[in-house]
Amino acid sequence: MGHPTGQSRGWFGRVNDKQVYAHTSFCLSSILNPGEPPLDKGIIPWLGHVFEFRRDTLKFLNRMKQKHGDVFTVQLGGFYITFLQDPFSCGTFVKEKQEKLSRNKFSHQLMKQAFGYEDIKSDPEIHLMAHTRHLMGDGLVLMTQAMMSNLQNLMLHNTGSAANQSTWKEDGLFMYSCKILFRAGYLSVFGNVPPESEGNEEKAKEKDRTESDTLFYEFRKYDQLFPDLFYGVLSPKKKKEAQRLLTFFWDALAIHKVRNKDNISRWVWDIQQAKAEDGMEESMISRYMFVLLFTTQLNTGPASFWLLLFLMKHPEAMAAVKGEPDVLDSAVEETLRLTMAPIITRSVLQDMTLKMADSREYFIRKGDRMAVFPYSAVHIDPEIHPDPHSFKYDRFLNPDGSKKTDFYKGGKKVKHYTMPWGIGVSMCPGRFFATNELKQFVFLMLAYFECELKNPDEKIPEIDVRRWGLGSMQPDRDIQFQYRLRY
Ligand code: HEM
């Protein structure tokens, strides 16, 4: 894990010696600056609570909340992180200026550590323009259309025909959903093999299928390493494997290859173009292509699995979705409430005062970090979402069928009643496209196939607790299903 002279890696980052010294000296004498949140350093010097935190983040944060209340600072791998777990005050993240609470400093460190990518100064502006134009504006329609045609190519290939329609195919639902979503998403963002290069369109489609298949399996390997990589605790052997995979993706997504594709999304095109104009080397732009692949694919596959599984396990929800497409939006939101668990983190760049919704104020030190874990702060709070562990497909619908946005705690309205996409400046710009992807996938599954669980009585798998804080949760095992063409 490193040592107190500043070599920690991963999410816990690189420790600032002065900060450790300052906090250590205060805490040895048990004195905090006036107005600071309760500080819990754990019993292991410098590492603090890191092992308990990694073992089960949700359990650990719940324990801390019970002990200290909804604002507390914990020591994790040399860093002091203040968790803000009051549902009414999460908006502080939205309101605080970037000069005080910065997303960029933290994300630059992570990009370098996990993806071998080093940013240049003008990046945020470039990204924001490309996101707004192509993931939210007119470009969203084009990307959604591309997704539809790629999903059709992948889902209908090799599924038989009317002549042998009674043949069931079996697969693990998690692997099937992740594989389809990954491959279709990758092709929609990075483009298709041009028919000219293969001789005809059929051959080009075939190549899209085989290439995206290879990429998917390598991506799964990287994804498996990601929790330990993110938290900076990979063993040397696994580090080597992570490096091999990065090199594989940098080559597969090399910018000269991406530029030769057909239908490359304007989003990727504009970003790589702007980086080139800014003077970034081609090899570094290729590395960024993997950052984009990872960002776009990390959550979508697992989310599509949970959505389809919840629908299959809840016949009333399945019937409602088939009868009234608007219900699907609520079912998607409910799925994300139950299975999306990112930790939203900011670096504290200046000493600051955290102002809570109920007028409490806390002094927060420069050099520390602040974080919100919406899953426990909001998503599964039984006052905000009664019976919080149950899937209720219509939880986000009013009786008249409109979108429900009124949720309360203690009689007071909760503005941020779910946060699967994060909040504030770093809120996921791909949320509209991602929602479309999930809805398209479910729509096509239900339109093309009869599908059922092999064992309808099998319980919904447990969540794999190693992934708390990283985004979409994954199941601790797969669940078998079968499907066959309807016509
Ligand atoms: C179910 C699918 C998805 C979920 C739940 C999701 C969620 C998130 C979350 C939680 C963040 C980080 C927020 C933070 O740290 O404060 C994020 C960032 C981001 N997402 Fe998504 N995402 C999904 C799919 C996508 C897709 C399909 C795209 C693009 C096509 C995308 C593009 C991005 C980008 C570019 C960022 C970085 C924003 C920044 O740092 O400025 N996401 N996403």
pLDDT at residue 120, as a whole number: 75
**Is 93 a domain residue?**
yes
Tell me which residue has its CA closest to atom 13 in ligand 1. Answer: 422
**Is 462 a domain residue?**
yes
Residues 247 and 138 in one domain: yes
Judge whether residue 162 has pLDDT over 70. Answer: no
Residues 277 and 299 in one domain: yes
Angle among Cα 203, 207, 210 to the nearest 5 degrees reads: 135
CA–centroid distance, residue 296 to ligand 1 (Å)? 7
What is the side-by-side strand order in the sheet with 169-172?
169-172, 480-485, 449-453
**Is 232 a domain residue?**
yes
Higher per-residue pLDDT: 278 or 150? 150
pLDDT at residue 164, as a whole number: 60
CA–centroid distance, residue 415 to ligand 1 (Å)? 20
Is 376 a pocket residue for ligand 1 (Cβ < 6 Å)?
A: no
**Is 336 a domain residue?**
no
Tell me which residue has its CA closest to atom 21 in ligand 1. Answer: 428
Is 265 a pocket residue for ligand 1 (Cβ < 6 Å)?
A: no
**Which residue, 231, 13, 249, 15, is CA-closest to 108?**
13
Tell me which residue has its CA closest to atom 31 in ligand 1. Answer: 430
**Is 412 a domain residue?**
no
Is 303 a pocket residue for ligand 1 (Cβ < 6 Å)?
A: yes
Residues 14 and 128 in one domain: no
Domain boundary residue, one of 359, 375, 391? 375
pLDDT at residue 160, as a whole number: 64
Query: By mean pLDDT, which of 18-22, 61-65, 436-440 is the weakest?
Result: 18-22
Residues 174 and 104 in one domain: no
| Residues 462/428, Cβ–Cβ less than 8 Å | no
**Is 203 a domain residue?**
yes
Tell me which residue has its CA closest to atom 38 in ligand 1. Answer: 426
Identity at 98, one-letter amino acid code = Q
Measured from the Cα of 124, ligand 1's closest atom is 41
pLDDT digit string, tens, across residues 199-252: 999 999 999 999 999 999 999 999 999 999 988 889 999 999 999 999 999 999
C-beta atoms surrounding 233 within 10 Å: 19
User: Parallel, antiparallel, or unpaired for β 470-472 and 340-342?
Assistant: antiparallel
Q: Which two tokens stand for residue 340?
A: 């999306």
**Which residue, 166, 170, 159, 155, is CA-closest to 454?**
170
Is 8 a pocket residue for ligand 1 (Cβ < 6 Å)?
A: no
**Is 321 a domain residue?**
no
Average pLDDT over residues 436-461: 96
Residues forming beta bridges with residue 472, ordered by sequence position: 340
Residues 180 and 66 in one domain: no
Handedness of CA 295, 372, 233, 6 (dihedral sign): positive
Average pLDDT over residues 397-406: 95
CA–centroid distance, residue 363 to ligand 1 (Å)? 30
Measured from the Cα of 128, ligand 1's closest atom is 41
SS3 at position 486: coil
Q: Residue ranges for the binding site for heme?
A: 428
- Number of structural domains found in the chain: 2
Measured from the Cα of 423, ligand 1's closest atom is 16
b/e 358-397 (16+ beta carbons within 10 angstroms → b): eeeebebbebbbbbbbbbbbbbbbeebbeebeebbbbbbb
- Ramachandran angles phi, psi of 342, nearest 5°: -75, 155
b/e 177-198 (16+ beta carbons within 10 angstroms → b): bbbbbbbbbbbbbbbbbeeeee
CA–centroid distance, residue 295 to ligand 1 (Å)? 6
Residues 195 and 297 in one domain: yes
Which residue range forms the structural domain that includes residue 17?
Answer: 10-114+343-375
Is 419 a pocket residue for ligand 1 (Cβ < 6 Å)?
A: no
Is 340 a pocket residue for ligand 1 (Cβ < 6 Å)?
A: yes
What is the side-by-side strand order in the sheet with 101-102?
39-40, 71-76, 79-84, 369-372, 344-348, 101-102
Tell me which residue has its CA closest to atom 43 in ligand 1. Answer: 428
Question: Among 334, 428, 431, which is best to mutate for testing ligand 1, by the most ligand atoms less than 8 A from CB?
Answer: 428
CA–centroid distance, residue 44 to ligand 1 (Å)? 34
pLDDT at residue 18, as a whole number: 36
Residues 89 and 137 in one domain: no
Q: Within 13 Å, how many C-alpha atoms sit on residue 326's CB side? A: 9
Is 344 a pocket residue for ligand 1 (Cβ < 6 Å)?
A: yes
Count of residues in the chain:
487
Q: Residue ranges for the binding site?
A: 299, 369, 428
| Residues 384/412, Cβ–Cβ less than 8 Å | no
Residues 103 and 130 in one domain: no
Handedness of CA 374, 101, 49, 87 (dihedral sign): negative
Average pLDDT over residues 70-88: 95
pLDDT at residue 266, as a whole number: 93
Query: By mean pLDDT, which of 12-16, 44-48, 52-56 is the weakest?
Result: 12-16
CA–centroid distance, residue 182 to ligand 1 (Å)? 15
SS3 at position 452: strand
pLDDT digit string, tens, across residues 118-130: 987 655 676 788 8
Residues 434 and 458 in one domain: yes
Tell me which residue has its CA closest to atom 6 in ligand 1. Answer: 421
Contacts of 15 (CB under 8 A, 6+ apart): 2, 4, 6, 8, 46, 77, 78, 79
Q: Model confidence at 421, in pLDDT bands (50, 70, 90)?
A: very high
Measured from the Cα of 427, ligand 1's closest atom is 13
pLDDT at residue 487, as a whole number: 74
Contacts of 458 (CB under 8 A, 6+ apart): 479
CA–centroid distance, residue 427 to ligand 1 (Å)? 7
Q: Model confidence at 5, in pLDDT bands (50, 70, 90)?
A: very low
Judge whether residue 141 has pLDDT over 80. Answer: yes
Identity at 201, one-letter amino acid code = E
Q: Residue ranges for the binding site for substrate?
A: 299, 369
pLDDT digit string, tens, across residues 462-481: 999 999 999 999 999 999 99
Average pLDDT over residues 165-184: 93
CA–centroid distance, residue 5 to ligand 1 (Å)? 33
Provide DSSP, 58-73.
HHHHHHHHHHH-SEEE
CA–centroid distance, residue 35 to ligand 1 (Å)? 34
Residues 239 and 139 in one domain: yes
CA–centroid distance, residue 146 to ligand 1 (Å)? 19
Residues 214 and 290 in one domain: yes
Residues 198 and 256 in one domain: yes
User: For the chain, what is the mean pLDDT?
Assistant: 90
Measured from the Cα of 135, ligand 1's closest atom is 30
pLDDT digit string, tens, across residues 290-306: 999 999 999 999 999 99
CATH number of the domain bearing residue 452: 1.10.630.10
Q: Model confidence at 20, in pLDDT bands (50, 70, 90)?
A: very low
